[in-house]
C-alpha cells in the first residue's frame, strides 16, 4: 500500500518539475497578482500594509485554483488513471497521493514564497511567522479541495468553469480562518491562536473527506 | 411508502391524485398567511410597514436551507438504498431551492436598504446565504455538464453531500468573521421573541411556502420521471434501428 502511494507522489512531483508543469504557471500567476495589486489600488504604504495578509491569501488561493485541473486531466486522457484504478492500491489512496503531490508542487512552495513577496506589499515583519504557518497549513486543504474539484469535473469539456464554481464555497471558511490566524482580523491578535486551531481542524477534515469523495467521483467517471 | 414509491408508475399515479389537493391547500394557506401579514398585522413600532417584507423573507430563507438539506438526504438515500426516485427528487428540488435562496437575498436586500442604509453588507448571514446560492448553482451546473444521467446523478450526489458537510462550517466561519444581522428570533431558548400578532401570520406564511415548495418539487419530479422515460424509449428505438 505504501509503495504505490509513494510512487504516485514521486511521479507527479517529477512531472510537475520536468514536463514544464504547473509550478512555473502557479508562481507566475502569484507574482502577477502581487505586482498588479499595488499598481491597481495605488502605492499607499499604510493601505498596503493593512491588506497585505489578505492579498497574499487571495493570491495563494487563486494560484492553487488555477493549477487544479492539471491534477487529473492528463492522467484521465491518456488512460494512466485507469491503470492506477485497477492497480494494487485503493483509488482513495491514489487520490490522497495525487492531492499531496499537488500540495508539494503548488501549495507548499507558494506558501513559503508568500512572505518574501509580502515585502513588495509592505507586510509587517512581525506577522511573517504566523502568516507562514497558517499558509503552509491552510494550503494543504486548498490542494485537497482542488483535487476534489478536479476529480468531480474530470473529463468534462466545461470543467474549468465548473471547478471554480464548485470550489469557491469550500474555500471561504479556509480564507476566513487563514486570514484571521495570520492577523487576528477585526477582533485583534488575541483571536489568532484559536483561528489557527480551527483552520487546522478544517484542514484535517478535508484530508479525510477529499480522498474518499474524489475516489467516488473518479469511479463514477470511469464506469 | 418508501418502497411503494420505488415504482415510478405508482409515484406518477399518486402524484396525480395528490396534486390538486396540494395546490388548493397552498392557495388557501399561503393566501391566508399573506392576507394576515400584509393587511391585518400591525406595522412595527420601529420599522413601520417595511416589517411586512419579513413574511416573504423569513419563509424563503428557511426553505432555501431546508431544501438543500433535503437534497443531501435524498442523495444519501440514493447512494445507500439505490432508490430510483431519490436522485431525481434532489434534481427536481434544486432549482426550487435556488429560487427561494434568490428570493431571500433579494427581499433581504430590499429590507436592508431602509433599515441598514445599504443594499448589501458582508454580514455573516448574508454571506452564508450567498454561498448557499453558489452551492445551488454549482449543483445545478453539474447536472447540466455531465451528459450521461446515471453518471450525473452520482457526481451531483457527491457535490451535494460535500456541500452539506460544508454548510455548518461556512455558517460558523462567517459568524466568526462578521455579524450585523440579528440572531434568530424564532427558534431560541425561552420561546419565540416575536409578538403573537406578527408570529401567527409568519407561521401561516412559512406553512404556505412549504406547501408551495412541495407542489413545485413534486411537479418537477413528475417531469423528470417522464423525461427519463422518453429518453429510454428513444434509446430503445435507436437500439432497434441499429
Burial (Cβ within 10 Å: 0-12, 13-18, ≥19) of residue B175: middle
Nearest CA in chain B to A166: B138
Cβ A195–B154 below 8 Å, yes or no? no
Q: Across the 223 residues of chain A, what is the mean pLDDT of every consecutive 10-residue run?
A: 84 80 79 89 85 90 86 87 87 93 90 88 84 92 94 82 88 88 63 84 93 93 83
CA distances to A122, B48, B73 from B181, in Å: 34, 18, 29
- The percent of residues in chain B predicted with pLDDT above 70, rounded, is 91
Q: How far is A102 from chain B (nearest CA, A)?
A: 20
Query: CB count, 10 Å around CB of B52?
Result: 20
Is B226 near chain A, with CB under 8 Å? no
End-to-end CA distance of chain A: 24
Tens-digit pLDDT profile for residues B133-184: 999 999 999 998 888 888 889 999 999 999 998 888 877 777 777 655 556 6
Torsion of CA A40, A45, A51, A56, to 10 degrees: 70
At A66 the pLDDT is: 85
Smallest CA–CA distance from A186 into chain B, residue: B177
Mean pLDDT of B73-77: 93
CB-CB neighbors (< 8 A) of A176 in chain B: 173-174, 176-177
Q: Where are the alpha helices (DSSP H) in chain B?
A: 8-35, 54-81, 86-116, 124-145, 149-177, 196-241
Find which of A148, A176, A190 to mutate to test the B interface (most B CBs within 10 Å of its CB). A176
- B83 in Cβ contact with B2 (< 8 Å): yes
> Would you state the cell numbers that stand for residue B144, as one nine-digit string?
447540466
Burial of residue A56 (CB within 10 Å: 0-12, 13-18, 19+) is buried
**What's the pTM?**
0.86
Please list every residue in chain A whose beta carbon sits closer than 8 Å to the beta carbon of residue B129: none
Nearest CB neighbour to B154, from listed A165, A170, A220: A220
**What are the chain A neighbours of B161 within 8 Å (beta carbons)?**
213
Q: B157 and B79 in contact (C-beta within 8 Å)? A: yes
Q: What is the mean pLDDT of residues B37-65?
A: 82
Q: Closest residue of A to B177, CA-based?
A: A176
**Mean pLDDT for chain B?**
85
Q: Rounded to 5 degrees, what angle do the CA atoms A84, A86, A90 make?
A: 75
Is the Cβ pair A176, B173 closer than 8 Å?
yes
Contact residues, chain A to chain B, C-beta under 8 Å = 148, 152-153, 156-159, 161-162, 165-166, 168-170, 172-173, 176-177, 180, 185-186, 195, 198, 202, 205, 209, 213, 216-217, 220-221, 223
The beta-carbon neighbor of A156 closest among B145, B174, B177 is B145
Residue A160 half-sphere exposure, CB side, CA atoms within 13 Å?
Answer: 4
Whether the per-residue pLDDT at B188 is higher than 80: the answer is no
Task: Indicate the range of A44-48, B187-191, B225-229 predicted with least confidence.
Answer: B187-191
Angle of the B149-177 helix axis to the B86-116 helix axis, nearest 10: 30
State the pLDDT at residue B16. Answer: 87
Mutate to test the interface with B, among A166, A182, A207 (most CBs of B within 10 A): A166
Q: Which residue of A has its CA nearest to B130?
A: A169
- Minimum-distance CB partner of B151 among A158, A202, A223: A223
Chain B CB contacts of A162 under 8 Å are 138, 141-142, 145
A136-151 in b/e form (b: 16+ CB < 10 A) is bbbbbbbbbbbbbbbb
Classify residue A100 as exposed, middle or buried by CB count within 10 Å of its CB (0-12, 13-18, 19+): buried
Nearest-CA residue of chain A relative to B149? A220
When pLDDT is averaged across residues B16-45 and rounded to a whole number, the result is 87
Instruction: Please state, for a pLDDT cut of 90, what percent of chain B lies above it.
Output: 39
Minimum distance, in Å, between the CA of residue A216 and any CA atom of chain B: 8
Q: Does B179 touch chain A (CB under 8 A)?
A: no
- Supply the pLDDT for residue B240: 86
Q: Report pLDDT for A41.
A: 87
Phi, psi of A71 (to 5 degrees): -65, -45
CB spacing of B173 vs A216 below 8 angstroms = no
Q: What is the DSSP letter of A154?
A: T
Of A114-118, A178-182, B109-113, B189-193, give the lowest mean pLDDT range: B189-193
Among chain A residues, the shortest Cα distance to B160 is held by A166
Contact B57, B107 (CB under 8 A): yes
Chain CA centroid to CA A39, Å: 26
Which cell numbers in the block locate residue B50?
417595511
Higher pLDDT, residue B213 or A16: B213
Which DSSP state fits B184?
P
Distance, CA of A19 to CA of A86 (rounded, Å): 25
Amino acid at each position: 500500500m505504501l509503495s504505490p502511494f509513494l510512487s504516485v507522489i514521486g511521479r507527479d512531483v517529477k512531472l510537475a518539475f520536468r514536463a514544464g508543469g504547473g509550478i512555473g504557471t502557479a508562481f507566475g500567476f502569484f507574482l502577477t497578482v502581487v505586482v498588479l495589486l499595488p499598481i491597481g489600488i495605488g502605492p499607499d504604504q499604510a493601505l498596503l500594509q493593512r491588506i497585505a495578509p489578505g492579498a497574499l491569501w487571495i493570491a495563494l488561493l487563486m494560484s492553487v485554483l488555477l493549477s487544479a485541473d492539471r491534477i487529473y486531466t492528463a492522467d484521465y486522457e491518456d488512460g494512466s488513471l485507469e491503470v492506477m484504478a485497477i492497480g494494487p492500491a485503493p483509488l482513495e489512496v491514489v487520490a490522497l497521493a495525487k492531492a499531496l503531490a499537488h500540495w508539494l508542487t503548488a501549495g507548499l512552495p507558494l506558501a513559503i514564497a508568500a512572505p518574501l513577496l509580502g515585502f513588495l506589499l509592505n507586510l509587517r515583519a512581525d506577522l511573517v511567522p504566523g502568516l507562514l504557518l497558517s499558509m503552509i497549513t491552510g494550503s494543504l486543504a486548498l490542494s485537497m479541495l482542488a483535487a476534489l474539484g478536479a476529480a468531480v469535473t474530470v473529463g468534462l469539456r466545461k470543467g474549468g468553469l465548473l471547478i471554480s464554481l464548485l470550489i469557491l464555497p469550500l474555500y471561504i471558511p479556509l480564507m476566513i480562518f487563514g486570514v484571521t490566524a495570520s492577523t487576528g482580523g477585526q477582533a485583534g491578535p488575541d483571536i489568532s491562536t484559536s483561528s489557527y486551531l480551527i483552520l487546522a481542524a478544517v484542514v484535517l477534515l478535508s484530508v479525510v473527506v477529499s480522498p474518499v469523495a474524489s475516489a467516488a467521483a473518479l469511479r463514477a467517471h470511469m464506469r | 411508502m418508501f418502497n411503494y414509491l420505488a415504482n415510478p408508475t405508482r409515484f406518477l399515479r399518486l402524484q396525480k391524485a395528490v396534486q390538486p389537493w396540494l395546490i388548493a391547500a397552498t392557495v388557501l394557506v399561503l393566501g391566508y398567511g399573506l392576507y394576515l401579514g400584509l393587511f391585518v398585522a400591525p406595522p412595527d413600532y420601529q420599522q413601520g410597514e417595511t416589517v411586512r417584507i419579513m413574511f416573504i423573507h423569513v419563509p424563503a430563507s428557511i426553505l432555501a436551507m431546508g431544501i438543500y438539506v433535503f437534497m443531501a438526504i435524498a442523495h444519501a438515500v440514493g447512494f445507500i438504498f439505490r432508490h430510483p426516485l431519490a436522485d431525481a427528487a434532489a434534481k427536481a428540488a434544486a432549482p426550487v431551492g435556488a429560487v427561494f435562496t434568490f428570493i431571500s437575498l433579494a427581499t433581504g436586500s430590499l429590507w436592508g436598504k431602509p433599515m441598514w442604509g445599504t443594499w448589501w453588507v458582508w454580514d455573516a448571514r448574508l454571506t452564508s446565504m450567498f454561498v448557499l446560492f453558489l452551492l445551488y448553482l454549482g449543483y445545478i451546473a453539474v447536472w447540466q455538464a455531465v451528459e450521461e444521467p446515471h453518471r450525473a446523478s452520482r457526481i451531483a450526489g457527491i457535490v451535494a453531500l460535500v456541500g452539506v458537510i460544508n454548510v455548518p462550517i461556512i455558517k460558523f466561519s462567517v459568524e466568526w468573521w462578521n455579524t450585523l444581522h440579528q440572531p434568530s428570533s424564532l427558534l431560541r431558548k425561552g420561546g419565540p421573541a416575536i409578538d403573537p400578532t406578527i408570529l401567527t401570520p409568519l407561521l401561516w406564511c412559512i406553512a404556505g411556502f412549504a406547501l408551495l415548495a412541495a407542489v413545485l418539487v413534486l411537479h418537477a419530479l413528475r417531469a423528470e420521471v417522464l423525461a427519463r422515460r422518453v429518453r429510454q424509449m428513444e434509446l430503445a428505438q435507436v437500439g432497434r434501428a441499429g
